[in-house]
Amino acid sequence: MIFEMDNIVNYGYGVIGNCRTAALISDKGNIEWLCLPDFDSPSVFAALLDKDKGGCFGFMVSDDYRTSQTYIPHTNILSTHFISDEDEFVVLDFMPYYRARNNEHYLPAELYRYIRRIKGAPRFRVKYNPAPDYARGRVIHNITSEYIESYSTSNDTDRQYLYSSLPLRDIEDGKEIILEKDEFMLLSYNEKVIHVDIEREKLEYCRTLVYWLNWSNRTKKYTLYNDVIERSMLTLKLMSYYNGAVLAALTTSLPETIGEVRNWDYRFCWLRDASMSIETLFKMGHPGAAKRFMHFIKSTFTAQHQTFQIMYGIHGERKLTEVVLEHLSGYKDSKPVRIGNDAYHQRQNDSFGYLMDLIYQYYRLMPGALDEIEDMWELVKNIMTTVTEEWRNPDKGIWELRGKDHHFVSSKVMCWVALDRGAEIAYMLDKTTYRERWRREAEAIRRDVLDNGWKEELQSFSQTYDNTVLDASLLLMEPYGFMAADDIRYRKMVAAVKKGLLHNGLMYRYNSEDDFGMPSSAFTICTFWLIRALFVTGEKAEARCLFDDVLKYSNHLGLFSEDLNFDTKEQLGNFPQAYSHLSLVNTAILFAEEDKNKSLKFIRP
């Protein structure tokens, strides 16, 4: 489903979820992406990736109806409004999420569709077309007096149960339904052991509504851009698995460029992406996210001196085998459709810097009990040993190039960040020997970068030691403290990167061919990095103007994907993207002051 507004073609989807799984729902009210029971489980609906085979769940109405879509303010409850001259109804989509007994979260693998009659006698047909297990088998439906049970012949252990106050046979047969009162549909991964009716649905709705209102109330408020900040924060929360892991995106195989093969599965936890997301949630008023992520990290690295990976499954899995689903046509016929991600084999030394920066903030701002501090100290020492051993080696870099390893400047810089933050933690804990050792190693990296990364002919640092390619990730030298904003080399580099990579108001990641040819789309986070670089080097008016332009390229609900088309500004790549939303928040707060009157300390009810 594509949404078109002001001549910009974007993903026309809203997102709902409950920190266990999520659904993409088109602006026409069709569920076109949903995996059950978890984010990384096989899809039940995947029309997003194949309109004919993928399966969807929605409403068919006459051409007399107009539709619009919004979120219930301050929540992740989605409202799709159907209105004609005489009739009107609203579909409220949500996944139950709230605190239950013992302060634990209730987050079942299920989705409610509350159909609220507004006026007249609305008529519609329900299109219920599940295609479980990535549509790999034939779908079997069993209709009982309570529910419609569905499963795939390719995996009959995973089943879905549709409950409704509407006649189940009418749903199954696609008969026209006249809406005379409020109704509901509930899709659950589990057979329910309690009676489900409209009153139960309303109770779940109210509990979920209150949870999201409370969560948003704890988010810091700002004098400018507060609405877009809040929507990005709510989106980042949706991508946070309940055990602390954070997904890079909610989808797989949405192409970076239509018709090309840069289609990847992002439903995993990258150390880099997750650390950046958690740091944003942390500083915006949600320390619980940091606590859960640290617990995930500690539980994932249980073995002493276990080797680190750049990414893990959301349950801590280390093996993420990549498979191509040949039977699916792909988004806009952009094959291949992949599940799993072979990048888990890669060495990306920059990941340690982002993780250590977060651990440093954790030690500095919210230290835990003694046993927790000591557990984290062992993890820090393990990371420092790895960085000390690895930083001199080439790697794949931040962009996960699948060809030859290189000495990426951004990887060296983030290794410096890792050692710098490790030394600061050692200072806090009065571990002088470790501090001095890691400071010496950090200084060795700094000298190495300055000697080998700077290219006079560019008047800039380059992407790698052995090339003269510009790379947007070089802009991160300033926010992570490797180089000050007033350093002449940083200012020259910003000018060079802007000249070489900014095109039609958006940024390339780099300007050279990689394993798949020349990149042809803009990477959204890179434009936000440039905006910060312009801001801190004194070009605040230009930065603000560029930021306001980028905000226009969100979809109708303020959501951003990974990439954008330089010319049409069409959204591309996986969606919604954590990178894009965390960088939007961090950029927006450059221009706004915290509204102290609205950011009062919130007492949890």
Identify whether residues 207 and 252 lie together within a single domain.
no
CA dihedral 492, 495, 499, 505 (to 10 degrees): 160
- Tell me the mean pLDDT in the region 550-579: 97
With pLDDT > 70 as the criterion, what percentage of the chain qualifies? 96
pLDDT level of residue 514 (50, 70, 90 thresholds): confident
> Does 368 have pLDDT greater than 70?
yes
pLDDT level of residue 162 (50, 70, 90 thresholds): very high
Q: Which secondary-structure segment (H or E) carries 500?
A: helix 488-501
Identify whether residues 211 and 251 lie together within a single domain.
no
Please state the domain count of the chain: 2
Q: What is the pLDDT of residues 303-321, one digit of tens each?
A: 444 678 999 999 999 999 9
DSSP E strands in 192-313: the ranges are 269-270, 311-312
Which of residues 216, 249, 282 is at a domain's end? 216
Residue labelled with tokens 């949890």: 604
Cα–Cα distance, 267 to 525 (Å, whole number) = 18
Lowest mean per-residue pLDDT among 75-79, 266-270, 342-346: 342-346
For the chain, state the CA radius of gyration. 25
Task: Indicate the average pLDDT of the chain.
Answer: 94
DSSP E strands in 340-491: the ranges are 454-455, 460-461
CA dihedral 230, 235, 241, 243 (to 10 degrees): -10
pLDDT level of residue 517 (50, 70, 90 thresholds): confident
Residue 599 lies in a domain: no
Half-sphere exposure of 289 (CA within 13 A, CB side): 27
- Tell me the mean pLDDT in the region 328-332: 97
Burial of 487 (0-12, 13-18, 19+ CB in 10 A): middle
Q: What is the model's pLDDT at position 54?
A: 98
> Does 48 have pLDDT greater than 70?
yes
**Which of 95-109, 430-444, 582-596 has the highest average model confidence (pLDDT)?**
430-444
Which of residues 216, 245, 271 is at a domain's end? 216
Residue 603 lies in a domain: no
Residues in a beta bridge with 90 = 81, 116
Identify whether residues 242 and 194 lie together within a single domain.
no
Residue 600 lies in a domain: no
Cα–Cα distance, 364 to 241 (Å, whole number) = 25
Cα–Cα distance, 573 to 456 (Å, whole number) = 35
Residue 585 lies in a domain: yes
Identify whether residues 153 and 265 lie together within a single domain.
no
Identify whether residues 513 and 448 lie together within a single domain.
yes
Greater pLDDT, 565 or 513: 565
- Tell me the mean pLDDT in the region 246-251: 98
φ, ψ at 363 (rounded to 5°): -60, -40
pLDDT level of residue 2 (50, 70, 90 thresholds): very low
Q: Is the dihedral of CA 427, 430, 433, 434 positive or negative?
A: negative
Identify whether residues 201 and 244 lie together within a single domain.
no
- State the amino acid at position 492 in one-letter form: K
CB 422 within 8 A of CB 380: yes
- Token pair, residue 66, equals 């107009």
CA dihedral 270, 271, 277, 280 (to 10 degrees): -170
Cα–Cα distance, 565 to 580 (Å, whole number) = 15
Residue 495 lies in a domain: yes
Residue 598 lies in a domain: no
> Does 49 have pLDDT greater than 80?
yes
Half-sphere exposure of 243 (CA within 13 A, CB side): 16
- Token pair, residue 465, equals 């030691």
Identify whether residues 202 and 248 lie together within a single domain.
no
Q: What is the pLDDT of residues 494-511, one digit of tens each?
A: 999 999 999 999 999 998
Gap between the terminal Cα atoms of the chain:
40
Residue 408 lies in a domain: yes
* CATH number assigned to the domain comprising residue 205: 2.70.98.10
Of 11, 580, 578, the closest CA to residue 247 belongs to 578
Greater pLDDT, 518 or 461: 461
- Tell me the mean pLDDT in the region 538-545: 97
Identify whether residues 476 and 519 lie together within a single domain.
yes
Lowest mean per-residue pLDDT among 21-30, 305-314, 393-402: 305-314
- Tell me the mean pLDDT in the region 235-242: 97
* CATH number assigned to the domain comprising residue 461: 1.50.10.10
Lowest mean per-residue pLDDT among 205-209, 382-386, 453-457, 597-601: 597-601
Q: What is the model's pLDDT at position 599?
A: 54
Lowest mean per-residue pLDDT among 186-190, 370-374, 535-539, 595-599: 595-599
With pLDDT > 90 as the criterion, what percentage of the chain qualifies? 87
Q: What is the pLDDT of residues 62-71, one digit of tens each?
A: 999 999 999 9
> Does 1 have pLDDT greater than 70?
no
pLDDT level of residue 387 (50, 70, 90 thresholds): very high
Which of residues 188, 216, 244 is at a domain's end? 216
* Chain length of the chain: 605
Greater pLDDT, 400 or 201: 201
> Does 605 have pLDDT greater than 70?
no
Pairing of strands 98-99, 22-26: unpaired
Q: What is the model's pLDDT at position 5?
A: 45
> Does 184 have pLDDT greater than 70?
yes
Identify whether residues 346 and 211 lie together within a single domain.
no
Residue 602 lies in a domain: no
Q: What is the model's pLDDT at position 3?
A: 39
The domain in which residue 111 lies consists of 2-216
CB 336 within 8 A of CB 413: no
> Does 4 have pLDDT greater than 50?
no
Q: What is the model's pLDDT at position 366?
A: 76
> Does 230 have pLDDT greater than 90?
yes
Identify whether residues 226 and 210 lie together within a single domain.
no
Identify whether residues 515 and 417 lie together within a single domain.
yes
Q: What is the model's pLDDT at position 570?
A: 96
Q: What is the pLDDT of residues 436-476, one digit of tens each?
A: 999 999 999 999 999 999 999 999 999 999 999 999 999 99
- Tell me the mean pLDDT in the region 211-216: 98
Query: Helix (H, G, I), strand (E, B), or coil: what is residue 267?
Result: coil
DSSP E strands in 548-592: the ranges are 563-565, 571-572
Identify whether residues 141 and 287 lie together within a single domain.
no
pLDDT level of residue 135 (50, 70, 90 thresholds): very high
